[in-house]
Amino acid sequence: MARKGVKEKGQRSLSITAYAVTVFFTLAALIPVLWMISSSLKTDKDIDAYPPKWLPSIPQSVRVTIDYTGQEPQDNVYYEKDAMRATWYPWMKNLRENIGEVEITGIRGGTMIYRAITSSSSFHVGQPMVVPSAMFNDTLMNLKLPIIKEQKLSKFKWYGDNGKAAGDTAGIADSALAAKFGEFYGSTAFVKGKVTSIVEKSAWSRLFDSYLSLNKLAKDAAGPMGFFQYFLNSSIVTLSCVFMQMVLGGLAGYTLSHLIRSKRWQFFWIMFFLATIMIPDISLLLPLYLLMKDLHLVNSLLAMILPHSAWGIIIFLFKGFFDQISKELLQAARVDGASEIRTFTQIVIPLSIPIFASVAVLTFIPVWNEFVWPLVVNNLPKYWTFTVALNDLQNQSNVQQNMIMASSFVSMTPLLIIFLFSQKYIEKGVSFSGVKG
């Protein structure tokens, strides 16, 4: 770079091409990820918008006030059913709208007697059970109210006679959603009270409802932990594998590198470990499944962890690194009376932090992303890892693309965080493994 400043012929065109190509591929890598994030924040109206929209619009909260003044007083179940009819029926009629939540306020003689709030995540999870079709009748809610209560889909707060004074009613607002709801209440007789006002307000917090829907959906399949169960499974499997690789691979690599004197034995054991990289995972899928069946480990986390204890390339990476540690240093420690374990833990490990970090990262990424083995070895959702649960989502009928994208985004966040902090270890690891790739 001695002649800096003097532009060579051709340098300019090369630079322009280089930046153009690099920026193009950078964008190509970024667009799917941005589209994933944008889609995950969309409501059902936006997700099916054509032309596609990049910026999700803000979900709307529909606030309905129902006045029961002048009617016979009833028990709270009567009012709850009324509120649920006022929520679920018109929402089902307007399924593909930009609704973030519906809030029903019941008033009687100027005081508030109840308030019912339903978020869009609850609506989407409950819709196939509560309002499977747009055919409603008065008695339907008698059957559905227990479901709503059991699954905690709508929040219903009963004030009775102790409610605070209701504010002035605003009437039916001049907006599309309010008009649609107003039209439903006006043309049907499901709601017993008198609808006095419908207002539409922005509900920013409902942008993330696709994520909440995922969690509520997963509770049916995976148990009370919901979506976190998959997250926990993936984390346990991945971290156990990382730990196992470091302990087993580290010990074996050190032994091959420094403890076996005989050249012939050393060669034998290196071949013993390294030869296994010839065996493709897909070939071992069936025999490993049969093995796990014999060990009674089908449908367990252990079945996903154990096979990862044998990666030929890991031992090879460790051995390559340990070979660079000088024999004299280790001899000195031994002469000083340190045991082999002490030598390993107090001298070798502190010198080898980079290789341990590289192995950790190079194990974490593929194990977290692993798909086919967890898919075949587990058929109970309780033991699914993230990738299997994610694939299952696309086969469920009431799951929209916004939920699938939300789930995809959640699945990549741990990797993104790890990657941000460990890029240099990945680059090192790749250069350690060199061309063996």
Footprint of another protein on residues 41-80 (CB under 8 A)? Answer: 47-52
Cα 428 → chain centroid:
29
- Residue closer to another protein (CB basis): 136 or 386: 386
- E strands, 68-137, are 99-108, 111-119
Please choose, from the candidates 117, 116, 108, 195, the residue with its C-alpha nearest in 3D space to the C-alpha of residue 160. 108
Task: Please select the residue that binds another protein; options are 104, 211, 404, 425, rule is CB under 8 A.
Answer: 404
Binders of another protein in range 230-269 (CB under 8 A)? 247-249, 251-252, 254-256, 259-260, 269
* Measured distance CA(308)–CA(311) in Å, rounded: 6
Strand order in the sheet with 154-158: 154-158, 111-119, 99-108, 60-67, 194-202
Q: Which one of 62-70, 115-123, 155-163, 332-340 is the stretch in contact with another protein (CB under 8 A)?
A: 332-340
Task: Please select the residue that binds another protein; options are 190, 211, 356, 386, rule is CB under 8 A.
Answer: 386
Binders of another protein in range 9-48 (CB under 8 A)? 9-11, 13-15, 17-19, 21-22, 25-26, 28-30, 32-33, 35-36, 39, 47-48
Task: Please select the residue that binds another protein; options are 66, 237, 315, 399, rule is CB under 8 A.
Answer: 315
Which distant-in-sequence residues (6+ apart) come within 8 Å of 429 by Cβ?
317, 358, 359, 361, 362
Q: How far is the CB of 235 from another protein (least distance, A)?
A: 14
Helices and strands (H and E) in the chain: how many: 20, 5
Q: How far is the CB of 98 from another protein (least distance, A)?
A: 15
Radius of gyration (C-alpha) of the chain in whole angstroms: 31
Binders of another protein in range 352-381 (CB under 8 A)? 365, 368-369, 371-372, 376
- Residue closer to another protein (CB basis): 39 or 240: 39
Which distant-in-sequence residues (6+ apart) come within 8 Å of 46 by Cβ?
53, 56, 57, 98
Task: Please select the residue that binds another protein; options are 69, 339, 345, 346, rule is CB under 8 A.
Answer: 339
Phi, psi of 328 (to 5 degrees): -60, -40
Q: How far is the CB of 226 from another protein (least distance, A)?
A: 19
Q: How far is the CB of 411 from another protein (least distance, A)?
A: 5
